[in-house]
Homo-oligomer: A and B are copies of this chain.
Amino acid sequence: MGYSDRITGLAGGGAAWDVFFRAQRMAAAGEELTMLTIGEPDIGTAPAILDAMHKAAEAGNTGYASIPGIAHLRETVARRVAARTGVETAPENVMITPGGQPALFATHALALDPGQTGLYLDPFYSTYPGTIRGVGGVPVAVATRAEDGFLPRAADLAAAIAAHDAKSLLINSPNNPTGVVYPEATLAEIAGVVREAGIWLISDEVYDTQIWDGSHVSPRSLPGMAERTLVIGSLSKSHAMTGSRVGWVIGPDEAIAHLGNLAIHTTFGVPGYIQEAAAFALTQGPEFEAELAAPFRRRREAALRLIGAQNILRHAPAQGAMYLLLDIRATGLSGQDFAERLLDAERIAVMPGESFGQAAAGHVRVAMTVADDLFEDALARLIAFAGELAA
């Protein structure tokens, strides 16, 4: 039988994912590994949130829920976004989605017709190019450079937009995999390029509660940007609700209306009891969110101490998100070879930088998602291993 080019061309990250799949198989077979791979918090969803969910379901909220989102949750998200960014935000600017990934898909479906180009930055979260292909678009990466702290150059962006007649630019700050948080000056440059070109800025801000250094600026808050920015949010990381699949898009009301119409054909909405649980979670206050971010903050501080005590490995600016991107080029290995050897020698699984694009070659991404003592021990062994290689 025939398959669409779209679905056969989605592809994964190629060989750079082999080490991850091998580690998964080893773990499934019962081997003891320290898994520092994916962005899954090492705690589950808080019992109070699950109780709120169950209460809503028991009360009868089990039928079809409003597809752009229940009024109560849209209002809660609008108030949150307005308070955090200073941008006026109404419920009509909020579309509730089953998580961040469906929001990435929907916003690209809104911006791109088949054959049109969507830009994204390299290194990138692994689904970005496939998401653009999935809507029939053409993904084009704009490389950032380790020596720039992985911040994009405005001239590169402008050139790529012009060369490909791009209709959208996807950015992600705090960034996965680098941990970089874009300063306001960089965002202002990006905004200038996007405004000049008259294209959509799709801003993936799902790590916005994980800021270790500096502060998070949403580009939607910059002059002239609210009308051309689609912000993606999620409770996955901020509230340890990865499995519950709930997030949102913030954008102009006309865009949100279109996304609601699209959702009738793609997702048919988010369970009402999950939406109620999300509204409950979002009103637990900043202390609750700080508590959920605290383990990553502690582990990142411990990591910077360990890395500061040696001179083989360097780290990318580790300002936010639950990852460290380590430059292992002093070992003479690729990120992929380093990760393969580390897995065999130390039973520690990390992601090769190459899993996230060529701009992260010679790096490995370390997820700070295991208990503090295990994490520090694993990182110390990783550093020692790199030291032996470089010796």
Contact = CB atoms under 8 A, between A and B. Distances in A.
Nearest to A126: B264
A130 interface: yes
Contact of A62 (B45, B64, B268): B45
Contacts of A109: 4, 6-7, 134
A298 to B, nearest CB: 21
Interface stretch (A52-60, A180-188, A287-295, A336-344): A52-60
Contact of A105 (B1, B62, B266): B266
Contacts of A60: 44
A273 B44 CA distance: 12
Nearest to A57: B50
B101 A1 contact: no
Contacts of A268: 98-102, 245
Counted per complex, copies of this chain come to 2
Interface string A252-292: 10110011011011111111111000000000000000000
A86 interface: no
A200 interface: yes
B200 A64 contact: no
Interface string A71-110: 0000000000000000000000000001111100100011
A63 B50 contact: no
Interface string A1-22: 1111111101010000000000
Contacts of A372: none
A136 B114 contact: yes
A64 B100 CA distance: 13
Contact of A3 (B53, B255, B270): B255
Contacts of A10: 261-262, 264-265
Interface stretch (A215-223, A236-244, A320-328, A378-386): A236-244
A278 B200 CA distance: 39
A358 interface: no
Nearest to A227: B1
Interface of A: 1-8, 10, 12, 38, 40-41, 44-45, 47, 50, 53-54, 57-58, 60-65, 98-102, 105, 109-116, 127, 130-131, 133-136, 167, 198, 200, 227-228, 240-245, 252, 254-255, 258-259, 261-262, 264-274
22 contacts: A1-B200, A1-B228, A3-B258, A4-B111, A5-B113, A6-B109, A6-B113, A6-B135, A8-B258, A40-B64, A50-B58, A54-B57, A61-B243, A62-B244, A64-B242, A98-B98, A101-B266, A105-B265, A130-B261, A133-B265, A134-B265, A245-B267
Given A62-B241, A245-B270, 7 more contacts: A10-B262, A41-B63, A47-B58, A50-B54, A98-B267, A101-B267, A130-B261
